[in-house]
Amino acid sequence: MSAEAEIERVARLAYGRLVATLAARTGSVSAAADALSEALVRALETWPLRGVPERPEAWLAAVARNLAADAGRRARVATAAVDHLVLLEEERADMGEAATPDRILSLMFVCAHPAIDARMRTPLMLQLVLGLDARRMAGAFLVPPGTLGQRLTRARAKIEAARIGFALPAADDLAPRLAHVLDAVYAAYTVGADGDGAGDAKASSLAREAVWLARLLAAQMPRAAEAQGLLALLLYGEARRPARTDAAGRFVPLAEQDAVRWNAGLVAEADLAMARAAAAPSLGRYQLEAAIQAAHMDRRHARPTNWTAIAGLYRGLVALHPTTGAKVGLAAALAEAGDTAASLAALDAIDPAHAAGYQPFWAVRAHALRLAGDRTGSAAAYNRAIALTADPAVRSFLVGRKAGLGA
């Protein structure tokens, strides 16, 4: 991680704590978030030059207050006066008391509250917990920055007007509420991870933010098996990121990746999360998806991938959470396990309306038809997949596969 990235990480952590702290105390999110967002920008400008202050929270709080108090001269004064203000700030007894991860956890539950528009939960969480601004997120969410900014403002206003509480949900309500939080974090990851291959640096940094949020959730909720499952799922994906492209920048499919290039530290961390989930398992989508990814990791120990077992896990996932992605995953596993007929039947059972624009459907169908010996059908499916691929590395991989048909 570069120095800039490290500074950004520290600044964000401090930011999230401060929003959580101030919002938990006053119930007002908007004012705190606006001033702190500006303070965060100052931090990212100043810290690389002057070093990260010893107390990032105090620094950000002081700058934010100064910005709010003296809007006219804020640009120059804020950072110049900050050392003095930090000294004053350090005398404030309440600073240390409140800046704890459980406050951030509360804030995440607020952002993913069912009373908040489902599409806004992820951007809201990225903004309020990590200080990302609408401009930076808009591309990843395929919304114009102005529109996203307005929706974020509206969502923040609702938190205040409707007074969404900062207390964690009661035990009997915790599981469904946690599911919303996990979904919002996962959405941040997929929006980031999908853009990654195309060299979209903004999107892949969103994936890292999602991992950070998942780590915090897993650490704060050690007995929540689904939170552990989500962390493991994201970490297995992150561990394989370096192996997804070869030295020439070409896309390498999972089955052909060099297991030596997987990040062993991240795999170990993911395995640990899986072990915690196994201590008190609950039937859940993230544990199943993580188990599928863990099964792929067998190759690290020179064991062949057990595709029959993976297909079984996908069957469970489809039963629990019947998304198009899970159904296509099942079809891919069946094809790899040697049951081409079952794979094609699974694909045929998918609603054509959902399949039409879904690239993995066509890539898997092309692969299964090739295994079945239908070269013409396979070539046609490859064409559909190629047309739906934005990532140049993946596209050239598919073009190569199609050429290999010899049809």
Partner 1 sequence: MQYMILNYTPATEYPDGDAVRAAAEGELWGAYTRALVEAGVLVGGNALHPPHAATTLRVRDEARDIQDGPYAASKEQLGGYYIIDVPDLDAALAFAALNPAAASGAVEIRPVVARDPA
Q: Does 161 bind partner 1 (CB under 8 A)?
A: yes
Q: Does 390 bind partner 1 (CB under 8 A)?
A: no
CB of 112 to partner 1, least distance (A): 13
CA distance 227 to 216: 10
CB of 165 to partner 1, least distance (A): 3
Q: Which of 139, 145, 169, 377 binds partner 1 (CB under 8 A)?
A: 169
Q: Which of 164, 243, 252, 272 binds partner 1 (CB under 8 A)?
A: 164
Q: Does 163 bind partner 1 (CB under 8 A)?
A: yes
Question: What is the pattern of x (binds partner 1, CB under 8 A) and - over residues 88-127?
Answer: -------------------------x-x------------
CB of 377 to partner 1, least distance (A): 47
Site for partner 1 in 326-345 (CB under 8 A): none
Nearer to partner 1, 169 or 316 (CB): 169
Name the segment binding partner 1 (CB under 8 A); options: 159-167, 216-224, 294-302, 327-335.
159-167
Nearer to partner 1, 115 or 255 (CB): 115
Backbone φ and ψ of 185, nearest 5°:
-70, -40
Query: What is the b/e burial string over 8-28, where b = at least 16 CB atoms within 10 angstroms of the residue's CB?
Result: beebbbbbbbbbbbbbbeeee
Nearer to partner 1, 70 or 117 (CB): 117
State both tokens at 374. 């239908």
Query: What is the b/e burial string over 112-127, where b = at least 16 CB atoms within 10 angstroms of the residue's CB?
Result: bbeebeeebbbbbbbb
Q: Does 171 bind partner 1 (CB under 8 A)?
A: no
258 torsion bin: left (phi>0), alpha (psi -120 to 50), beta (else): beta
Nearer to partner 1, 112 or 318 (CB): 112
Q: Does 162 bind partner 1 (CB under 8 A)?
A: yes
Name the segment binding partner 1 (CB under 8 A); options: 74-82, 88-96, 156-164, 254-262.
156-164
Q: Does 167 bind partner 1 (CB under 8 A)?
A: yes
Name the segment binding partner 1 (CB under 8 A); options: 157-165, 291-299, 314-322, 353-361.
157-165
Name the segment binding partner 1 (CB under 8 A); options: 9-17, 86-94, 163-171, 280-288.
163-171
CB of 108 to partner 1, least distance (A): 15
Q: Does 165 bind partner 1 (CB under 8 A)?
A: yes
Name the segment binding partner 1 (CB under 8 A); options: 155-163, 185-193, 245-253, 361-369.
155-163
Nearer to partner 1, 103 or 208 (CB): 103
Give the residue among 42, 234, 34, 192 at the shortest CA–CA distance from 127.
34
- Asked if residue 279 lies in contact with residue 222, where contact means CB atoms within 8 angstroms, the answer is no
Give the residue among 123, 131, 129, 126 at the shortest CA–CA distance from 104.
129
Helix axes 201-220, 101-111, angle to 10 degrees: 120
Nearer to partner 1, 96 or 114 (CB): 114
Q: Which residues form the interface with partner 1 (CB under 8 A)? A: 113, 115, 161-165, 167, 169
